Amino acid sequence: MELYFHWFDLLGIAVFAVSGTLAAWRNQMDGFGVIVLASVTAIGGGTLRDVILDLPVIWINDNSYFYAIVVAAVATILLVRNRLTIPHNTLQFFDALGLAFFVIMGTQKALDHGTSTMVAILLGTMSGVCGGMIRDVLCREIPMVFRGELYAVTCIVGGVVYTSLLAFGVSQLVAMLCGMVSLLLMRLAALKWQITVPVFVKHHNELNEP
């Protein structure tokens, strides 16, 4: 099972690195900007999770994470340079795919180190969203988690699906896949049909302030 965890981690790292590279391309950054954005998107959330859990940061003693980032970034650059157009929603798709990997892996890592189920889901959500938040801040944009279609909610749902299946005795690998697929499908559905959690109603007048 440890081997599965490692490969899922690397897949999540690579997918988020693709997301960061696409964001750098969209903002016309140079090569250094591409590597920085790909890296912070890929490892930002996991780093914060490990710091909170008081664990060795995931990439400190394992160069394979950096190899995954570089390979994913270079492959994305080559693809972008050889295509005239990139679909508008490509970044959102890879971001959703990265969420699916990172949220479930982050939730499991928190469970492995003795947290409650609720805390594990919150740390899993943090693992998924924080890298993207750093990416968007560096791009001078409102983070995706704070705008538009369902984002953090899908992470929580994915974590709940995963931990619930574990509680019912489903094998860990099957529970992981179900959690990832449910998160990914919910996020993609939110993007397609623009499902949001509205708080403030739209208005045309300025707020009257004293």
Is 204 inside a domain boundary?
no
Is 207 inside a domain boundary?
no
Domain tally, the chain? 1
Cα(26)–Cα(31) distance, integer angstroms: 13
What pLDDT does residue 184 have?
Answer: 96
Cα(174)–Cα(152) distance, integer angstroms: 23
What is the reported pTM? Answer: 0.90
Is 205 inside a domain boundary?
no
- CB count within 10 Å of CB 5 equals 16
Q: List C-alpha distances in Å: 190 to 66, 116, 149, 198.
A: 32, 29, 6, 13
Query: Measuring CA to CA, which residue among 209, 107, 197 is closest to residue 161?
Result: 107
Tens-place pLDDT, residues 11-52: 999 999 999 999 999 999 999 999 999 999 999 999 999 999
> Residue 52 CA to chain centroid, in angstroms?
18
In which residue are the tokens 């990914």 written?
A: 184
Cα(83)–Cα(97) distance, integer angstroms: 22
- Dig out the tokens for 37 from the structure: 């954005």
Is 57 inside a domain boundary?
yes
Is 203 inside a domain boundary?
no
Region for residue 50 given its phi and psi (left: phi exceeds 0; alpha: psi -120 to 50; beta: otherwise): alpha
User: Whole domain around residue 11: which residue ranges?
Assistant: 2-193
Q: Are the C-beta atoms of residues 150 and 99 closer than 8 Å to each other? A: no
Tens-place pLDDT, residues 131-179: 999 999 999 999 988 887 899 999 999 999 999 999 999 999 999 999 9
Confidence of residue 201 (pLDDT cuts 50, 70, 90): low
Is 126 inside a domain boundary?
yes
